[in-house]
Structure 1
Amino acid sequence: MRCTPFSFLPLALLFLLLLALPVEMVKNSDFKTCNESRFCRLHREFATNSTKTPPKVPRYSLNPATIDFTDSKFVANILDSQTNQELSLSLSFLNHGIVRFRIQETDQNSGRYQGPGNYVLKDGENGLQKIDSKNFKIEVNTSPEGTKTHLISFYQNSLGEQMQLAITESPWTISLLQNNKTTIEVNTRGLFNFEHINKKQEVSSSQEQTSESSESGSTVAQKPSFEEKFKNWVDSVPKGPQSFGIDINFPGSSNLYGIPEHASPLSLKVTRDDKEGYSEPYRLYNLDVFEYLNDSPMALYGSVPFLISHSLENTVGLFWMNPSETWVDVSKTQSPALLNLFNKYVSGSTSGNKMSSHWISESGVLDAFLIPGPTSKDVFLQYSSLVGTTSLPREFSLGYHQCRWNYLDQADVLEVNDKFESNKIPYDVIWLDIEHTDGKRYYTWDNKKFPDPVAMQEKLAKHGRKLVNVVDPHIKVDQDFRVSKEASEKGYFIKRNNGEDYKGWCWPGDSNWIDYFNPEASKWISDQYSFENYNNTTPALFVWNDMNEPAVFNGPEITMEKDIVHFGGIEHRDVHNLYGMLVQKATAEGLINREPVRKRPFVLSRSYFAGTQRYGPVWTGDNTADWEHLKTSVSMVLSNCLAGINFNGADVGGFFGNPNPELLTRWYQLGIWYPFFRAHSHIDTKRREPWLLGEPYMTYIRDAIQTRYRLLPYWYTLFYENTLTGMPIVRPMWVEFPKQSGLFDMYEQFMVGPALMVTPVLSEGEAVTQRIYFRSQESYHDLFSDYQLPGPETHDTMTMLGSQSVFVVGGHIIPTKERPRRSSQLMKHDPYTLTIYTSMHGSSKGSLYIDDGETLDYEKGAFIYREFNYTGATLTSKDGAPSSVDSPAKKKFIESIKHIRVERIVVRGMMNSFKRAIINENGKERSVEVTCTKEKRGVCTIRDPAVLITEDWSIRLSFD
């Protein structure tokens, strides 16, 4: 959330000014276009010129004298024929067949920022594992024209296909081949361009002159530019221009996905020379965007520079590890026949259509990872091996969150809690926005509004519920405010380039920002979450980091100036997109360390980067209560999940505006399928708690929320399985059905895990006709009834306001908890129901993960992971844990849940009626009655088989 630039004017004057203002959404003029960004404009112009007039002589080539291959690393210098300067290229061959390439000045002390890897990579730079090069095969071949190509055979992919990397010297290019087909190309369009760092005092008069074009094409910058202006702000650019750009292409590809966050379609639109596409590149630069536009490549709150290419043949990816401002152009091109010698190894992939991307970053090192796939499952595993998976969340955080800017006071909070009770609507968390503080001083309470915060938290906790307080990263400048005074005295604030504390304007007025790149400062701010420092907090309180892009109301583009300085002399321009992640990381560490028994944190962040998933959830920011934002939220959530940011969601109901009851109902019916499920609204909107809508809407919303709670065991299991595989928790249809090209653009229908297929209502109407696509030759079971449909077919169905279209793909077993409770904590020891949705062949499988839901003891093996298999009319349960850890923590945990049983087993899609179930558990056999319906493809139910969830057992259905 954010206010207008007039937020701190006297109220009377503010009122008069607001009357004169037109009502509008985001002010586009507040934010740069590519043309207003010097480096983006110039690289884009270079691309245009290079395409129109290809250079006769390659500008960039490898220097043969510098080529070397040692210890799984290929190195060479790239010679810039125009400046006669050289760049250092290194290629590393990593586990899973990932290829990393880095380009920078040959002088490692040039002043370029080198350090994002130790924040972004899950194990830091030293944790990357290389492939042993002893089995590599290297060939060097020369074409008739004299061009040399180095062909390195280095790995076999998951399909057993040989992977090779072809490196051509002039013009220098890189191509990744699998099974003799090129899947990723680097610089094959010749868009590589690199601005060498030229410090002010080192610039000669000759360099100040405008460069002329040459046979090798135009230079990136016509002359060194050491100041850049945008509106009233001047960026001093102390190191001078240091941008770079390069094309990365995907032969045979039909669709590109990822690079969130943008309010745009799931399948990325073309941004060059396409009337149906965008005229601007996708921008990655974390910003506070007020009431953002739909269908736009504008930058928003988060940036994840991870791109996925998918086609009928393969799925591959690219991770661009650079946290500076970045722009990405997307285009469709015709692949020319490559003239490199390795053509003879390539079959049918060097010509034809391809999707292309042009990456442009302002500063730092060109550092990218080619993610080889070749399947989508491979891509997610490979990418997560670099940046990590979603940390296992607190179990309560998968429930429903009730939020508003702002609940007025303690009495208001408790009244809302009581209303949820009396209306029997489950929820887990209630949230407090900035108005709960003493004058926007975070880590404090407004004692008049909240006279006894501890008592309030304790009452919530008795109902199994939690409280979340917002804590923004800006610190009010106030020497009487302990946090501000201590941070100033210790030198923990970000500095201007003259050494003074950086001061900007945000909610409290004049504010400073903690420098999270300073390890001492980060540790100190983490310690502010201790119960001793954050007064009147209890273990039931958790944290929301908003405004952490960071938002600065009087800064350029409503954020920080790029030339302010972080710890170690790092310019903000180099690390802008990392800042929000480090805020969240420090907060998470503070919550972990505040109790003697380390417990998992819950910290929501608005700003994010690759790696954020290790610290907590995010949301899609300040959306609007209309049908278009409802629809766009699906693409945004899916894009985040594809990029590894699985624990994410959108504000249910829309942050701005007042949704009518129909829109709000439909949004709840969609919101229960977001991984992070929270309703939130602006301070100026009408109250919209479910009971205020009256009937039948309250019942519809309650039914939707209860569906979420029934399925919490399935959701929690998906989060655990993500830690093993990196698979998206909510995923586009093409991930599950990769050979169905008709699904490649689809976002209106999606999967929750491998089993649940959701088709939300995204348009207005009390009764809406929906087209549902069943793309595999399988049975599809309605989640809410015994209704069953065959595939592969397309079905039209009428969805009434009180209903949803959710189908279970045949062949899956879904664990649920069917007893209605007020919160997830009160469900903890409830028995389970297992529902078997049979496949066309009568078989099914599923899984269930259980731990204590709050501590880190699962890292010591304190969990169970059961695998269920139904085949030949027999259901089995066995231990599916990837490794058996016999620890005291595990024994203690299993002892605590050994009484939990399976209270019901339901088998849907039965061709036969059974009478008995023969149960075998711990070597003992017994039988129980089975009840079956009479219909073809009917339902059989075993009531209370009394098997324990922790044990191995089998249940065989019998006709006798």
Structure 2
Amino acid sequence: MHVDKHLVDAELAHITIAEVQNEHSGAFEEITLDPVKVAHREDVTEALNFAKTSHWDTNTDTDPDVCGYLSNHCVRTRHQSSQKCLPSFAMERFPKLDSSIRGDSCGGNTIFSYQFTKYDTAKHDKLTWEGFRMEVPCSTSIYGTGENTGGLLLNEMADYGPHEHSESYDQRRGIDKKTGKPIPEPPAKHYPRPRNNAICWNTDAVFCDESFESMYQSHPWVLLVKEDGSALGVFVDSTYRTVIHLCKEGSLIYLYFLSEAPKGAPPVYLFPAQTPQRVLQELSTFTGYMKLPPKWALGYQQCRYSYYPDTTVKKVAKTFREKKIPCDVIWMDIHYMDEYKCFTFDKAHFPDPKALNTYLHDNGFKSVWMLDPGIKLLDGYSVYDSGTQGNHWITLKEGNKTPAVGKVWPGKTVFPDFLKQETREWWGDLFKEYMGTGIDGVWNDMNEISSFQDGNSIPQYSYHHADEDLGGPDPNTRYHNVYGMMMAKASYDGIQKADNNKRPFVLTRANFMGGQRYAAMWTGDNTSSWSHLHFSIPMVLNMGLSAQPFAGVDIGGFFENASASLYARWVGIGALLPFARGHSCDGTADHEPWSFGKQTEDTCRRAIERRYRLLPYFYTCFHEASKTGLPVARPVFFTDPTDTSLRAIDDAFVIGEDILVQAFTTPAKEESCVLPAKYQWRKMFILDDPNERSDADLPDLYQRSGSIIPVGPLVQFVDDESSHELDLYVFLGEDGEATGKMYDDAGEGYAYQSGDFAMFEFHAQKSNGEVTVTSKQTGGVFTSPYSLVRVHVVVQEEKQSKVFHSLEFVATFSV
């Protein structure tokens, strides 16, 4: 039984590989494959469009149980030293061997070209690796792998060779020839990856750049999009270290998937569909959907490592309100703790956390507090004592109760074994008193596991006493990549246990496929640089393309000091990403919206006000994500997957289906907007502030033709009851029609699951010189709070408006 299948609630059939005993270290042996099983579904024939040896032809008469053949294109992995002390592997391709096609042929067409190989690295770490190869035309667009620094498209990784790190690369990257260091403001927005690999091994990727092969999260998944817009998802269902390697040969790109496999080759799942959107829906059905978050989690959020003492927290909150910059959440980093001990409070700096949370609540704020997995090894510390008594720690080895000891912020630490149900329940019980102080959400950090010792983590062969339904006890090599996800699950369940009327909010740094069920995620410790500003967009987009809709970045950059222009630009973009939180490191300059002078403060206010006015639209997108798995922030090519000119755009993104955000990620605003030709697009200005039109640091917003977008009132926080106004912006398509929808509920609790929600559908139709706009509640019994509705119809750049006092109406406009 595969642990991986249980961890992602897998239900589909998978590739099976016959075990082969390899007695020769470093030798290769072919493994005979059973037929590839592609699940029966309405789009199954699309599987036949992919993975030919050199071309794709649809063969609709072929049975969906697709057969394949061995290509004899062997792959070997070997350990390679890394100056950054991160897991790194080099890949060697061996020439093809003379061999006839093996296995069945389907309709005369070769369906799949792959090979599983088995390589025993006995001379190294005595690890067994298994993998397979796919080959696709170079015209295929490749995305995914979850968290991946660099641009949106992964294809450039196939171009990189052993001698590619040359002067030309340095010039493109913006490297100072004299110092060898990056130029502070790179001259271009394109930062090529100097690597072929994406390695799934959760890593504390401090000071990461586009060269890093491993990041904080692991997603052994790629999305392949064909020229005609049809798509295929490939998921290697392995929690072990997995390498995704790209290389190019002639007109083909080869994708190698290799995984540590001491228990045999992992299952591989294929998701064929007519569109990439459909692939993501299938993947989310497979791995699970994100839960609808509390509405306050969609607001703007402010953090720092760290705000302390509590008087500083109050000052930050007070300044947001005084300056009328909307904000919903203030975050507490580790300095609130007593000597960095989890579930404790520093009596000097945070003497009364309940009173602090009451102050924040009274002023319209929620609070999120950090919990790391590292528990201080200290007799007399109640969490350590109860964890030891219950045998809740990861141990040094099998059959030994001695805990694996790391070194994190509190010094010597031990780590809960979240692969055990008993441990997760013990962790959840700790939340009752903790959440009783008024804490609203929890932040799980350092859960890769990160430890300040050799390897930057606990020993790989530390032992997890996992439950049998998760695969049973095994070393950390098997469970390392899912540790953060299981911690997030334990925290999610703990919040529910403390108050089952609250929708849990958890933010996690480490994650795995399926982790969207328990937590939002962010991309980790970035740097205040123009390159990292640019990476904010493609990194969040590729997270969404890996079924992780609720994702964001440290707005402004975590390390180093942002300039005023960089910070303003970052808030403008970051405020429109699914998760919007400003964050900065201890020892850096202040990075609040008012920290860089009045001009930057005004830009930040406008940027955040945009988010709050778009909250009805955002909440509708989050509701859709919770039902379908579709991302909230989507790549531009989603507007027309058949338009190949859109495939590489990563300085723009689309919120839902209808709002395109054109960002500017270079100092000189060199980007040129490429609007998808399938639709017409009109610039959106949604603030009463006339300077929104002239503010050069704000991204441009465009509304898609054929859409109706709900825009809410300008409020200072989500639960602000000062206004109940709603604007509907109607932009007719070429066919004279427009549609839209809006979801709403109480924003907290679970009454919506019993029908206490409202779904409104909007429709506009032009006929005989008139435009008729209708709004109707089509689902739920929730009474929407909006008591004044303004309807704006735009025809040939002319806007007409009418006012209604109900969200159900029929309006007629003469045009």
* Same fold? TM cut 0.5: yes
Q: Is the 8 A contact 2:71 2:96 kept in 1?
A: no
| Structure 1 residue 286 corresponds to structure 2 residue 188 | no
Correspondence for 1:326: 242
Matched residues in 1 for 2:17 and 2:686: separation? 63
Matched residues in 2 for 1:244 and 1:164: separation? 25
- Aligned amino acid, residue 341 of structure 2: R
Correspondence for 1:264: 150
Matched residues in 2 for 1:89 and 1:254: separation? 25
Q: Which digits, 9 at most, give the CA deviation of each residue in 1:772-831, with x for residues without a partner?
A: 112225331111179xxxxxxxxxxx975354311111111111112x322111159723
| Structure 1 residue 942 corresponds to structure 2 residue 802 | yes
Matched residues in 2 for 1:367 and 1:221: separation? 15
Q: Is the 8 A contact 2:120 2:129 kept in 1?
A: no
The equivalences for 1:510-659 within 5 A come to 510-531=412-433, 534=434, 537-538=437-438, 540-556=439-455, 558-567=456-465, 568-595=472-499, 597-659=500-562
Aligned partner (choices 225, 231, 235) of residue 122 of structure 2: 225
Matched residues in 2 for 1:722 and 1:826: separation? 25
| Structure 1 residue 247 corresponds to structure 2 residue 163 | no
**Structure 1: where are the runs of 5+ without partners?**
1-70, 100-130, 132-154, 196-212, 229-239, 335-352, 787-797, 882-889, 912-936
- Aligned amino acid, residue 807 of structure 1: Y
Aligned partner (choices 753, 760, 764) of residue 859 of structure 1: 753
> Structure 1 631/186 Cα, relative in aligned 2: closer, same or farther at 3 Å?
farther
Matched residues in 1 for 2:249 and 2:60: separation? 23
| Structure 1 residue 298 corresponds to structure 2 residue 213 | yes
TM norm structure 2: 0.82
Correspondence for 2:652: 749
| Structure 1 residue 310 corresponds to structure 2 residue 225 | yes
Give the stretch that moved more between structures: 276-285 or 383-392: 276-285
Q: Which digits, 9 at most, give the CA deviation of each residue in 1:347-374, with x for residues without a partner?
A: xxxxxx3432101111354211111112
Shift of residue 569, structure 1, vs aligned partner: 2.6
Correspondence for 1:847: 741
Q: Is the 8 A contact 1:814 1:834 kept in 2?
A: yes
Correspondence for 1:764: 667
Shift of residue 284, structure 1, vs aligned partner: 1.2
Q: Which digits, 9 at most, give the CA deviation of each residue in 1:103-144, with x for residues without a partner?
A: xxxxxxxxxxxxxxxxxxxxxxxxxxxx4xxxxxxxxxxxxx
> Structure 1 226/562 Cα, relative in aligned 2: closer, same or farther at 3 Å?
farther
Correspondence for 1:954: 810
| Structure 1 residue 506 corresponds to structure 2 residue 362 | no
> Structure 1 566/187 Cα, relative in aligned 2: closer, same or farther at 3 Å?
farther
Shift of residue 685, structure 1, vs aligned partner: 0.5
Correspondence for 2:43: 157
Which structure is higher in strand share?
Answer: 1
Shift of residue 415, structure 1, vs aligned partner: 1.0
Matched residues in 2 for 1:877 and 1:216: separation? 67
Q: Is the 8 A contact 2:569 2:698 kept in 1?
A: no
Q: Is the 8 A contact 1:187 1:246 kept in 2?
A: no
Matched residues in 1 for 2:116 and 2:551: separation? 42
Query: What RMSD, in angstroms, separates the aligned Cα atoms of the two structures?
Result: 3.4
Query: Partner of 2:133: helix, strand, or coil?
Result: strand
TM norm structure 1: 0.70
> Structure 1 611/449 Cα, relative in aligned 2: closer, same or farther at 3 Å?
same
Correspondence for 1:497: 397
Correspondence for 1:789: none
Q: Which digits, 9 at most, give the CA deviation of each residue in 1:652-681, with x for residues without a partner?
A: 110001111111000000101211000000
Shift of residue 449, structure 1, vs aligned partner: 0.7
Aligned partner (choices 755, 763, 776) of residue 878 of structure 1: 776
Matched residues in 1 for 2:574 and 2:132: separation? 39
Correspondence for 2:364: 464
Correspondence for 1:148: none
| Structure 1 residue 814 corresponds to structure 2 residue 814 | no
> Structure 1 754/220 Cα, relative in aligned 2: closer, same or farther at 3 Å?
closer
| Structure 1 residue 360 corresponds to structure 2 residue 258 | yes
Aligned partner (choices 361, 365, 385) of residue 285 of structure 2: 385
> Structure 1 708/366 Cα, relative in aligned 2: closer, same or farther at 3 Å?
same
- Aligned amino acid, residue 208 of structure 2: Y
Matched residues in 1 for 2:68 and 2:303: separation? 46
Q: Is the 8 A contact 2:150 2:193 kept in 1?
A: no
| Structure 1 residue 399 corresponds to structure 2 residue 315 | no
The equivalences for 1:779-798 within 5 A come to 779-784=680-685
Shift of residue 857, structure 1, vs aligned partner: 2.5
Q: Which digits, 9 at most, give the CA deviation of each residue in 1:610-641, with x for residues without a partner?
A: 01111111111111101111011111111111
Q: How many residues align?
A: 719
| Structure 1 residue 681 corresponds to structure 2 residue 681 | no
Matched residues in 1 for 2:59 and 2:523: separation? 37
> Structure 1 187/680 Cα, relative in aligned 2: closer, same or farther at 3 Å?
farther
Shift of residue 863, structure 1, vs aligned partner: 1.3
- Aligned amino acid, residue 241 of structure 1: L
Matched residues in 2 for 1:182 and 1:658: separation? 59
Correspondence for 1:429: 329
Q: Which digits, 9 at most, give the CA deviation of each residue in 1:850-904, with x for residues without a partner?
A: 11111122222221211111112111223444xxxxxxxx65xx2xx35533421
The equivalences for 1:59-74 within 5 A come to none
Q: Is the 8 A contact 1:192 1:246 kept in 2?
A: no
> Structure 1 222/852 Cα, relative in aligned 2: closer, same or farther at 3 Å?
closer
Matched residues in 2 for 1:73 and 1:612: separation? 21
Matched residues in 2 for 1:321 and 1:832: separation? 45
Aligned partner (choices 907, 916, 936) of residue 793 of structure 2: 907
- Aligned amino acid, residue 289 of structure 2: T
Correspondence for 1:64: none
- Aligned amino acid, residue 941 of structure 1: S
Shift of residue 182, structure 1, vs aligned partner: 13
Matched residues in 2 for 1:957 and 1:611: separation? 47
Shift of residue 692, structure 1, vs aligned partner: 2.6
Q: Is the 8 A contact 1:259 1:303 kept in 2?
A: yes
Matched residues in 1 for 2:57 and 2:464: separation? 38
Aligned partner (choices 659, 680, 699) of residue 804 of structure 1: 699
Instruction: Point out the structure with max Rg over C-alpha.
Output: 1
Matched residues in 1 for 2:227 and 2:418: separation? 44
Matched residues in 1 for 2:46 and 2:546: separation? 27
**Structure 2: where are the runs of 5+ without partners?**
1-11, 78-94, 100-114, 165-191, 466-471, 688-692
Shift of residue 90, structure 1, vs aligned partner: 5.8
Query: Partner of 2:627: helix, strand, or coil?
Result: helix
> Which structure has more RCO (C-alpha within 8 Å, separation ≥ 6)?
2
Correspondence for 1:775: 676
- Aligned amino acid, residue 217 of structure 2: G
Give the stretch that moved more between structures: 617-626 or 682-691: 682-691
> Structure 1 489/634 Cα, relative in aligned 2: closer, same or farther at 3 Å?
same
